[in-house]
Structures are given as C-alpha cells and as structure tokens.
Amino acid sequence: MKSIGFPGLHRFVLALFLLLIGQPAFAEKRVALVISNAAYQNVAPLPNPVNDGALIAATLKDAGFDVVDFRRDLPAVETRRALRDFADRTRDAEIAVVYYAGHGIEVDGANYLIPVDARLERDTDVYDEAFSLDRILIAIEPAKKLRLVILDACRDNPFAKTMKRTVASRAIGQGLAKVEPTSPNVLIAYSAKAGSTAADGDGKNSPFTSALSKHLTTPGLDVRRAFGYVRDDVLKSTNNRQEPFVYGSLGGEDVPLVPAPAKAASPAAPALSPQADIRRDYELALQVGNKSALNAFLAQYPDGFYASLAKLQLEKIAAEEARVAATEKARAAEQERARLAAEGAQKAQQAKAAADAKAAEQARIAAEKAKQVAQEQAAVAEQKRLAAEKASADKIAAEKAVADKAAADQATAAPVAAPVDKDKAVNVAALSTGSPQVDVTKSVQTELRRVGCLTGTADGEWNAASQRSLTLFNRYAGTRLDTKVANADTLDAIKQKSSRVCPLVCEQGYKPDGDRCTKIACGAGSFLNDSNECEKRREKKPVAKRDSDDRPARRERAERPTRDRPDVRTRRPVASSGGGGGQVVCDRGGCRPVSRGCHLEFRTTAQGGPYEGGGGNVQVCN
C-alpha cells in the first residue's frame, strides 16, 4: 500500500507496525527480591524493616514487576537459599532489583549483611555468620539491562559495639563502606553515604524507603534521576543529617524501572501535513527506541531531515552495542591472562594473552569514544529538530495572526487575503539553533557550579573558564566528557552527581567547611605553620653552665693526703735504719720495727684518690 494514495491509512499501519515490533522493549522481564530483617535473636529487634519491605514489595508489584519475592526475618541458611533461587529467576530478566532492610556492618572495608540468627562475638565471626554484599551482586549478575541493589542497612549497629577484636588493626567501621562496582550496568544505593548512619524515622517507614516508594517507579523516569529526587526528599526530611548515595554507573540511555506509557493518537485529531506526518512517525520510532523501529522508519522515509536523524540514532545504538561487546571482550581477555599467569603457563602463552588483553582494552576505549561521538551527534541533531519545530510553530502562528488581522480589516472593502497554509512545509535544516544551545550551556554551567567545579556565573557562553571547569569535573569524576562543547549528554552526566565533585580550595589560613572556607583558629601555645596546620610552640631548655667557683674545691681535694692502701705500682726499696736490719716502718698509727723476713718498699696511691699524689714506705714480707 502506497502512502501517496492513502496517507491517513498508511500512517495508521506504520504506527501499528512500530508498536508491534516495539513490544519486546516494553515487555522486558523485571524481577525483585525484598528481604526485611527485624526480629534479631541476639540484639534488640528493629521497628521498621518489615514495614519498609512490605511497602517496597507493594510498590514494585503495582509497577508491574513479573516477580516480587518478599522474605522477612531470614536466618543465614534461608538467606543463602533465597539468593540462590533468585539468581535462577534473573537468568532471563532484563532488570533485577534486590532491596534489603536490616543490620549491615563494615569490616576492613568490606560490607556484610546480617541475618537474624547471627552471633557476632568476635570480629572474625562475621565471615561465618553474615553474608557479603558480593554474594548479592553474584545473584543479580545474569540480568542484562540493569542490576540494582538498595540497602537500607546503614543503622547504628549494636554488633560493632560489643565485638571483640582478634587483631588490633582490624577496622570495624560505622555504617557501610564505599563500594565501586566492577561489572557494567550496576547501581548500589545506600540509605546514607558511606561511613555514616541512617535514621529509622518517627513514622511507620524510614525516610529513605518513603522517598523510594514515591519516586522509584515513576513511569519513564530514569532510575538515576529517581534516586536524585530520593536524595532531595531525605535531606529535607532529616534536616540535612542523612544523605542517600548511589555507587556505580550506567550508559547514556535512560533506564526507567517502569517504561513511559505509549501516547495514543486522538481519534478527533485534525489531518496533518506531510511534514507533520513524517515528524510524528519519527517520534514514534524514537519512542520505541530499537533498531527495528528506526529501520522501518527509514524504509518508508529514506531521505530528508528526519531520515538523517534516524540514521544518527541508529549509529548511537550501534556504538553502544559495540561498546558493550568490546567491554565484555576486554574482561574475558583479562581473565584469560590472569588465569594463565596463575597456572604458570609458558611465557609465550602469557605474552599472547597479555597482547590480546591489551588489544581488547584499546578496542574498548575506541568503542567508548565512538559511543561518545555518536551520542553528541544525536543530541545536537535533536536540539536542531526541536528548535526547528518550535520556529516552525511560531512562524505558522505569526502568519495566522497576520492573516486574521488582515481579514478583519478588509472584510468589507477588499478581497479576503489568501488563507495561510497551516500545513506548509518548512526547511527545518536552515532554522537557527542558537537559543536552545545557550539554554543548554547555561544549564551545564549551573550544574558545574553546583558540584563545585565552576566559580564563575552561568552566562550561556562556553568560554575557556567553562572548559577548564569541565576538565576539572572529568578529573575528579572519572569521566571523559568533551570539554569543547556543552551538550545534553554532558548535562545528564553532571546531574548524576548528587554532591560536590571538585574539592574546595581555600587560601592560607583557611580550611574547607562544607561548601565554604572558614578561618583556622589555633589554640594557646600554637601557631599556624606553612602546611596550614596548627603546631605547638617548643620551649627552649636552659643550658647548663660550669660554676667557676668549683675550681678551689677541686684543688683542695687534690691536696689531701693519700690513703694507706697502695696501688700496684712499686719502687725499689730505700735504705732505713733500725735493728734486726735496723729498719722501722711508720704510718699514721706511729712507728714500729720491721718484722723478721720483711723489708720496706716505697709505693704511691692511684691517681684521682682522696690522697692523690702522695706515697710512703710499706712493709713487704716474703
């Protein structure tokens, strides 16, 4: 059937065909596991987890999830069995969600979720009694499009206070530790930022879960934007004491948990112009968002402005598929290289595996760049399309107003002006796109200011200062956004960051305090050093001085007489008179004759004694 003869009927057939081939995209399988642990056996029970789990389970069921498995108060054995069963359900699913409410704990930087029968008397008990966050990630790994883990487990944990540490250096942290998922398409949401605790709240549900039930399943709302709304609600309800946080990343496409409803055409809608027909069919193909829909559009409209847009969208999809394939190939090559190295394979095999891994990584990087280029081209084309359509509508409205005024003025005196053709085709490629680009640039600059990377004003001019601020964002956020242009993809990437990204830099004498610099005040006896830190002043110790009056005392000690005890040094005997040899020996007790068989010797005392320098005769017997 040709569209020339029956345009209205053809549009209906094409729309119906696009919806039919698009059904698999909307019929994607979604599964969820909800675990709520409240009745702990060895510590006080928790008030809210069961209520929170019931609310999330009902929310996901109402959103049309194919499987919602709600479990409560699970011991360790049943927890592992539930995860095993859920892993089987995720094998043919596009989206897998795990929600956990209960106690969690961080030990040496690793996160563990605690079943109700756990006994954590020592820090090492956590390895046997609890189960790690990695176990949950393994259960949802088969899901193809999105793997989401939500943890309302950042409470003040009583186990951490009573645990005995078997190793003094083993750290038991507050809340949960920061995590960086290594698999693609994984998001891990905490009810409070890593290292902090969350509140149960005063109501039936925690502030975090209440916000989740409100925003998470909004039809057509990207899951990252939904968590941004959750963060805003929780900060507001807790007076900025609790800030939820999301770890991990997704690609450039929106990933809603619930797809947006299809727009049904009104039966009473007026007939459209040929250009409007093409536009409507293009928007329908774009809404379906898969290759089949876009190829069907191109088969019907192979040329023209909207055909070029459809081709750009196909290139964007192909670039994403190439990126995913390259990422998977790089991961497999790296695993093979690690396996050969671990098994001690021959050097040639290891070298080949290393070369394959390097080539795969280079291919992955190239695919990432190609995807970025395709996304930017598609975004710019969409901006042009929207601007062109707005200009076309404005032009038609202006022409209609002029025609109506002319008809009213000349109703009696002149022929009525020819009516304006509302369906007149417009050369949309030639229309200006300056205003939308300025709006996008201002939005990007505003977001850069919010995350602390831009200090200037959001004036809509993408100058050198704005480019430097985006370069800083790339450095601290780990992204590779093109700094030469501000586009919609850049705006979405920055909006995903819910808090400051670029560090706050303060002058000497000031320190960062939230989003501002405060003056450093050092305490008494301290001063601010060159490292911008307070340092204690050192007191000078008094230097010992030699007393000059000590010399007479030392001379007096040197002049004292020697003791009677001689040292080992001897001199030859000196002659003395006395009977029986005629010799006598004298000391401080008086003089007496030398005994028979003895003789006198002259001996001196040792140096440094009380009688230093003296000497005398000593009786020596054989």
> Token pair of 276, please?
């409007």
Q: What is the pLDDT of residue 436?
A: 67
Sign (positive or negative) of CA dihedral 240, 241, 244, 245:
positive
Task: Give the C-alpha separation, 285 to 360, whole Å.
Answer: 34
* pLDDT of 558: 56
Which amino acid is residue 30, in one-letter code?
Answer: R
pLDDT for 550? 55
d(CA 399, CA 503): 53
What CA–CA distances, in Å, run from 263 to 221, 269, 290?
16, 13, 17
Query: How far apart (Å, rounded) are the C-alpha atoms in residues 73 and 101?
Result: 10
* CB neighbour class for 552 (10 Å; exposed up to 12, middle 13-18, buried from 19): exposed
The radius of gyration of the chain's CA atoms, rounded to the nearest angstrom, is 44
Nearest CA to 191 out of 141, 225, 238, 146 is that of: 238
Kindly give the parts of the chain with pLDDT less than 70. 1-27, 167-174, 200-202, 262-275, 289, 409-436, 514-515, 540-582, 587-589, 602-617, 622
Residue 273 has what pLDDT?
Answer: 55
Cβ contact 101:209 at 8 Å: yes
Would you state the pLDDT for residue 98? 96
What pLDDT does 170 receive? 61
> Considering Cα of 596, then 598, then 599, then 601, what sign does the dihedral take?
negative
Long-range contacts of 199-203, Cβ-Cβ distance < 8 Å, separation of 24 or more? 199/238, 199/241, 199/242, 200/46, 200/47, 200/48, 200/155, 201/48, 201/237
* pLDDT of amino acid 300: 85
Burial string for 426-446 (b: 16+ CB within 10 Å, else e) reads bebeebeeeebbeebbbbbbe
Smallest CA-to-CA distance from 501 within 452, 565, 566 is with 452
Quickly count: other Cβ atoms within 10 Å of residue 547's Cβ. 8
pLDDT tens digit string along 240-289? 888 898 988 888 788 899 988 765 544 444 444 566 778 878 877 777 76
Which residues, listed in sequence order, are joined to residue 186 by a DSSP beta bridge?
Answer: 147, 249
pLDDT digits (tens, 9 = 90+) for 538-579: 776 666 655 555 556 566 655 555 444 444 333 344 444 444
Domains, the chain, ordered by start:
24-249 (3.40.50.1460), 268-430 (no CATH), 433-521 (1.10.101), 555-621 (no CATH)
Nearest CA among 243, 256, 275, 264 for reference residue 215: 256
pTM (two decimals): 0.43
Structural tokens at position 196: 């902090």
Angle at 459 between CA 453 and CA 464, to 5 degrees: 55
Res 22: pLDDT = 44
